[in-house]
Chain A
Amino acid sequence: MNENYAIELKNITKRFGKVTANDKVCLSVKRGEILSILGENGSGKTTLMNMISGIYYPDEGQIAVNGKEVSIRSPKDSFDLGIGMIHQHFKLVEVFTAAENIILGLPGQELLDRKAVTKKINSLTAKYGFDLDPDQKIYTMSVSQKQTVEIVKLLYRGVDLLILDEPTAVLTPQEADRLFAVLRNMRKAGHSIIIITHKLNEVLTLSDRVSVLRKGQYIGTIDTKEATEESLTEMMVGKKVSLNIERPDPVSPKKRLEVQGLTCISKEGVTALENASFVANSGEILGIAGVAGSGQRELLEAIAGLIPSARGSALYYPPEGGEKELTIMSAADIAKAGVRLSFVPEDRLGMGLVGTMDLTDNVMLRSYKKGRSFFADRRSPKALAEKLIHELGIATPGTSIPVRKLSGGNVQKVLVGREIASAPAVLLVAYPVRGLDIHSSHTIYNLLNKQKKNGTAVICVGEDLDVLMELCDSIIVMCGGTISGIVDGRTATKEEIGKLMMKTGGIQE
């Protein structure tokens, strides 16, 4: 075993019943190196990392840390070897401060020397360039700040090898950049970092080398210098895929939704959305760009009748005529009034679907009230679920599987499929491809384009500017709760949109 490697895996195999999650996977990380692990959903990335962090034990193969063969039997073993993992879901005590979370569970004297703890934390944050107040309570923090706490927690405990599982999935581009800067500082200080991701641009900008997995198989490792988006995609998917997103020209657009001066004030009295006005036309995809938390969520939820609006209007113009004011109605009223409005919310399993319910029950979530019968009709939802499985290629053993057991891409297909199935005139989608691999993302783009061709007015909130600029006919840019500009999707440049995103000086920064 090579001593230059912080960790080296050789021929690691792990099976679950008949499924081989990892088949003879080899991997190595040098000290002071950032390694990306790239692979589509279900390619075995998480299983592999779980073996390094002691959650699973490999069936075959060897693991060596700093050149010495080891056996990692529990998370504690992994920890003692200086390996730390940051999961997508943070494990923090909400009512504690950052410092309290960082020292939680560490051995020490009964009396805490808080000053010393704070000092040590501050020296760590200064060294690597974190932005963290040790005395801030977790529940007041943003997602990115919570992530910082998790990282500092591991560094405080002397972790050498850091594993991050899709760390940027929940971050804005700016926050991601800041995270990358910190990771680079850590690399300089000699830490080894493994980052699991399927965002190609991140791989290319951040890592030194890339290891690719596909369906549990180890495909290979290449230097990032020699990689391109195309070559990586080919390794990941196994065949050449076109990264181009189709953008058909709108056919005879007609006004479907007109929003005028819409303003939302949260329960805490914060103006989350101010004076938003725009028009959405049939046969067009209207993109919404902006740093997360710029009012996109409130905009969609106010239109969908989930939150009350303080001022303004959202007029719905159905193809058959007879406009309706949406802001005065609740979600239930909107459905009752026959408004053909579908909404794919950002929080899939917390709002759009019920994780513990099966496909059939989820498919009927928005239509179960139909009919006068006291009992719910499950026959037609079941048929619809089967149709969705077939048409969208949802990978599931059947219709009676709880949706939370499906992978992220399949969950999203169920949600989008259900919302599209009701033949909407206006379709609202929020972050439709967040956390999805390339294949699933393109399935979703195709679905949106199909709706567009059918004459639906599609409103799509996205985070990836490249995608929005390829997909949308026009793009609304939001900043600090207001619309800072509306640009043409075909001619706008990234710089132009970026400037608009920061227009009002930025509440975020």
Chain B
Amino acid sequence: MMKGKEPLFQTAKRESIEPWKAWMIRLIAVFLSLVVCSGIIIALTGLNPIEVYKGIIEGAVGTKRRVWMTIRDTLVLLCIAVGITPAFKMRFWNIGAEGQILIGGVTSAAMMIYFGNTLPPLILFPLMLLGSAIAAMIWACIPAFFKAYWDTNETLFTLMMNYVAMQVITFCIIFWENPKGSNSVGTINSATKGGWLPKLFGLEYGWNLVIVLGLTIAMYFYLKHSKQGYEISVVGESGNTARYAGINVKKVIMRTVALSGALCGIAGFIIVSGASHTISTSTAGGRGFTAIIVSWLSKFNTFAMILVSFFLVFMQKGAGQIASQFNLNENASDVITGIILFFILGCEFFIDYEVRFRGGKRSSAE
């Protein structure tokens, strides 16, 4: 056959691939993405890309304080990602994590304001955690109920619930305004630190660490090994199969979304009690959406989520640094994050498919 007529390249689905090969491909992808980023940095800003990379690292983990800020924000993002995962695994497109976080957060804030200085910590913190979880759970159950019984579209429903939650927060801010006229709640109990999650093992964010990592591990086993986790997978794949298997689909939808909402509520509690010590409409700050990326990128593996959320927060923190250090727009880091993600996602194609170029030798190793 005339070689010139062959297509330039052909793709074929791989039967399987050794793990080390897959990781090599991913590694090469990250490396290539950094090369491409360098080119773009030089082309757009004329800066030395190595310096910019250094700046990002500096901003994320340059000092002990920065390391802790990065860890703190990673934990929050991780907690939300772990929270939304059961719903997404069930193919329930819960894009209402923002609202659920806010509702959880405002519950915690309310308890801090009203009981923060009166109740003993041993009662106060479990109460805040549970209260936030239950409030957010109820919030999430509203769209779940409509989905289970009337098959309404959960995407729109959960999205709109976010705006309602936002209005609830706006109302509370005006209600609790401190000082008057500031249009914000300010730091709650800044003098007494009532309702602030205390240090654990001498670590400032020790409790955050324990709670979130605990949830991460528990969620892994829940999804992978529990009967309920199995039901979630079946319902997500096919409602018909679920009915055939004798699964009560309505019940599973309600239960799973309730769990999802509760965990997002706990994320709200951690943000308010363990990090910001205030409540505002930007308490969730878009992290309810970012968490969706984390969850999907990790293919619902909660341990992979630790890495992914760390990476995203790392880049975000680095962005702040290079913005001030090099007088760059904060979006510069977004560009870099985007390019790296593009390569990481794109390389999955080369893991699933093998590509042969025209005239290339067909090695027997393939």
Contact = CB atoms under 8 A, between A and B. Distances in A.
B237 A355 contact: yes
Contact of B241 (A74, A330, A351): A351
A374 B248 CA distance: 17
A62 interface: yes
Contacts of A375: 221, 225-227
B353 to A, nearest CB: 11
8 contacts: A17-B366, A62-B1, A304-B244, A331-B244, A351-B244, A353-B241, A361-B230, A375-B227
B247 interface: yes
A220 B5 CA distance: 29
B238 interface: yes
A73 interface: yes
A71 interface: yes
Nearest 9 A/B pairs, CB to CB? A332-B246, A71-B5, A73-B7, A351-B240, A331-B246, A354-B237, A376-B227, A365-B245, A375-B225
A422 interface: no
Contacts of A374: 226-228
A330 B247 CA distance: 10
Given A17-B15, A357-B233, A347 B240 contact: yes
Contacts of A357: 233-234, 237
A355 B238 CA distance: 9
A356 B15 CA distance: 16
A195 B248 CA distance: 43
Nearest to B244: A351
B240 A354 contact: no
B6 A356 contact: no
A366 B246 contact: yes
Given A331-B244, A350-B240, A354-B234, A16 B15 contact: yes
Interface string B210-248: 000000000001000111111001100110110111111
Interface string A338-373: 000001010100111111110001001110110001
Q: Helix, strand, loop or mixed for chain B's interface?
A: mixed
A33 B114 CA distance: 86
Interface in B128-142: none
B1 A365 contact: no
Nearest to B225: A375
Contacts of B244: 304, 306, 331, 343, 345, 351-352, 365
B237 A356 contact: yes
A369 to B, nearest CB: 7
Contacts, number: 90
B238 A71 contact: no
Contacts of B155: none
B246 A60 contact: no
Residue picked from A74, A330, A354, most chain B C-beta under 10 Å: A354
Nearest to A61: B1
Contacts of A361: 230, 233
A431 to B, nearest CB: 16
A352 B242 CA distance: 9
A57 interface: yes
Contacts of A335: 246
Q: How many interface residues does chain A have, given as a range?
A: 35 or more
Contacts of A352: 241, 244
A474 B7 CA distance: 58
A335 B234 CA distance: 17
A471 B226 CA distance: 42
A418 to B, nearest CB: 11
Interface in B1-17: 1-2, 5-7, 10, 12-15
B366 A368 contact: no
Interface string B1-45: 110011100101111000000000000000000000000000000
B227 A350 contact: no
A60 B225 CA distance: 48
A56 B13 CA distance: 11
Contacts of B7: 57, 73-74
A376 B245 CA distance: 15
A37 B39 CA distance: 54
B233 A354 contact: yes
Nearest to A376: B227
B232 to A, nearest CB: 12
Residue picked from B14, B230, B248, most chain A C-beta under 10 Å: B230
Interface in A70-89: 71, 73-74
Interface in B34-84: none
A350 B248 contact: no
Residue picked from A335, A345, A375, most chain B C-beta under 10 Å: A375
A498 B260 CA distance: 55
A365 B241 contact: yes
B266 to A, nearest CB: 20
B246 A376 contact: no
Contact of B246 (A71, A74, A369): A369
A224 to B, nearest CB: 32
A354 B230 contact: no
Contacts of B243: 306, 331
A306 B14 CA distance: 39
A357 B225 CA distance: 14
B226 A376 contact: yes
Interface string A433-476: 00000000000000000000000000000000000000000000
Contacts of B5: 71, 73
A376 B240 contact: no
Given A354-B233, A369-B246, A16 B12 contact: yes
B15 A332 contact: no
Contacts of A304: 244
Given A71-B6, A374-B227, A375-B227, A351 B238 contact: yes
